[in-house]
Structures are given as structure tokens and as C-alpha cells.
A = this chain, B = another copy of it.
Amino acid sequence: VVNILINGKPGDTISALDRGLHYGDGVFETLKVVRGHVMFMEQHLQRLLKGCERLRIPPPKPEVLIEETNALVGDEEKAVLKIIITRGRGGRGYRLPENEHGTRIIIRYAFPDYPQAYYRYGVILRLCDMRISANPALAGIKHLNRLEQVLARSEWQDESIAEGLMMDHKDNIIEGTMSNIFVVQQDRLVTPNVKTSGVAGIIRQQVLNAAQDLGISHDISEVKKEDLLTADEVFLTNSLIGIWPVKHLVHISNQKNVKISYKIGPITGQLTQELSKEEVRQSQTGSMK
């Protein structure tokens, strides 16, 4: 069952002239809802507004978005809300319309049925052929130009592979198709910078904050394929999955399939625990409701 609000009203269609369709001219957020509480709503809002600012899209009013997301949370134990903000209807051509009225779309989806084994034993991650392109003007924000992720995800059908990892054209590891990546090497936690490619994930930031609080040595820097070969722990993050430990990375090297294995180590464990605590806290207090 899908529930949708478009500019605050129930509906399931948008204008065929919307610039979100014509150009991917907009931003989005994917929110986890637990027992009617939206997780990290403030952080999602901040990123959404930052994305609007970067793209010069008139930002929605935060109080309106909060009201509308709360109206859509539903009564399931868990749910997903997706917020899309586009520049709205436009004439033909790239020029920004003069009287801009953005389009606000909020959709509720059923929460995905992730296997418990993903959390307990880890997931299989695949290195994709599709590269992620570089443009500082679009990096960090969650915009609607997602063809590279679509093509990367289309590379595998094997149900046992949970996620695909993408590099830029300089062989830097950037992120998964739908997640950020963290690597632990000699007790040091590292995640790629998202200055030229990639999305600055909400859970990525939460993990960095938790590492700070827990006194775990951490860094944002370039990550190369070689770093994955020598990593002790690897994990993925996004707003829905939280933290998925990676048990295997599969990739092709010299025309051969290569499998690298990781343990689910203490740093992944500590950070997972911290994140769970925060989720419990938010789903009980519901500070944003």
C-alpha cells in the first residue's frame, strides 16, 4: 500500500511538465519511520534544504514538511517515507522559471524485508563496473540525477549480493549504490570524502559522531581499492539499513572472480550498538512530533 501527498494533498500523479521529470531538477530524502516516529528528521531536513540552496530551488517550509511527514507515518511498526522536492512545472528549456512553485511529494512505502542474517553475519558487497562521475557542484547532496546508480544496480541479479560498490574515474572508492561505506584498518575508521562525488549520508554522519564520542580514531579521506584488500572490518550505512557489516567483497581482478572476507569486528559492533540506542531513544521520545 502506497500513500502519497502531493503539495499537501492526497494524489498519485504529478504534472507531465514537472522539471523533476524533464531534468531530474530536484532533491530527495529517504526516511525511516519507527512506530510513527521519523528518525533523524532534523538532519534530513537540513540536508534537503542545503540541496535546495545548492540547486537554487525555492525551499519548502520546514514546518510544512514536518506536518506532512507526520501525517503520513502510518501505523505500521516500521515504514519508509520518501520526500521529493522539485523545481516544479516549467516551460521548455533549462532556464529557471520566473515564478517558481516547487513540487512537494511525500510517499509512504512498506519497510523493506531485510534478512536478519545481514545484520548478524554480514552482507556480500560487489564492486561495480559503472563509475560515479565527479562534479563538486552536485556532490554531497541527494539530487534526482541517479542514472549512474540505476545502471550500477542493473549489473547484478544474484539475490545473495546485497549491495554494489562504486568508484570514481580516478579509482577512488566513493560509496555503494544506496549506501555509504566505512573501512576499518588497524583500529582506524575511514570513510571516503564526498567532495566531488557521492552523498553525505545522514547515518554516515551519525557514525562519525558516534566514533568521536566513543574515542574511536576516525578520518574522512580518499579510499582506494587497495584499502579494501587490507581492511579488517568493512560496513555500509544508510537511513533504512542502519549499519550492515560486510562479510565478503567480490570483484574481478585479472579476469578472475576474487572474494575478500572480513570479520564483523569490535568497531562495527560498538557503532551498531550506539546507533541502535539512538534509534530507540528517538522512537520513544519522538522529539520531532
Contact = CB atoms under 8 A, between A and B. Distances in A.
A153 B107 contact: no
B92 A144 contact: no
Interface in A82-120: 82, 84, 86-87, 91-96, 105, 107, 109, 112
Interface stretch (A10-18, A182-190, A254-262, A277-285): A10-18
Interface of A: 2, 4, 6, 11-25, 28, 30, 55-56, 80, 82, 84, 86-87, 91-96, 105, 107, 109, 112, 130-131, 133-135, 137-138, 143-154, 169, 177-178
Given A84-B22, A107-B16, A151 B178 contact: no
Given A15-B13, A24-B24, A147-B55, A135 B133 contact: yes
Contact of A22 (B19, B91, B131, B146): B146
A56 B144 contact: no
A18 B55 CA distance: 22
A24 to B, nearest CB: 3
25 contacts: A4-B16, A6-B16, A13-B16, A14-B14, A16-B107, A17-B107, A19-B150, A21-B144, A23-B24, A23-B145, A23-B147, A24-B144, A55-B151, A91-B109, A93-B178, A94-B152, A94-B153, A95-B154, A130-B137, A131-B137, A133-B134, A133-B138, A137-B148, A144-B147, A145-B147
A133 B170 CA distance: 13
Number of copies: 2
Nearest to A23: B146
Contacts of A22: 28, 84, 144, 146
Ordered nearest first, which 7 A-B pairs have the shortest CB separation?
A24-B24, A13-B13, A133-B133, A23-B146, A145-B145, A94-B153, A133-B135
A148 B139 CA distance: 12
A6 B107 CA distance: 22
A91 B2 CA distance: 10
A153 B21 contact: no
B16 A16 contact: no
Contacts of A135: 131, 133, 148, 169
Contacts of A134: 133-134, 169
Nearest to A154: B96
A13 B105 CA distance: 14
A21 B15 CA distance: 11
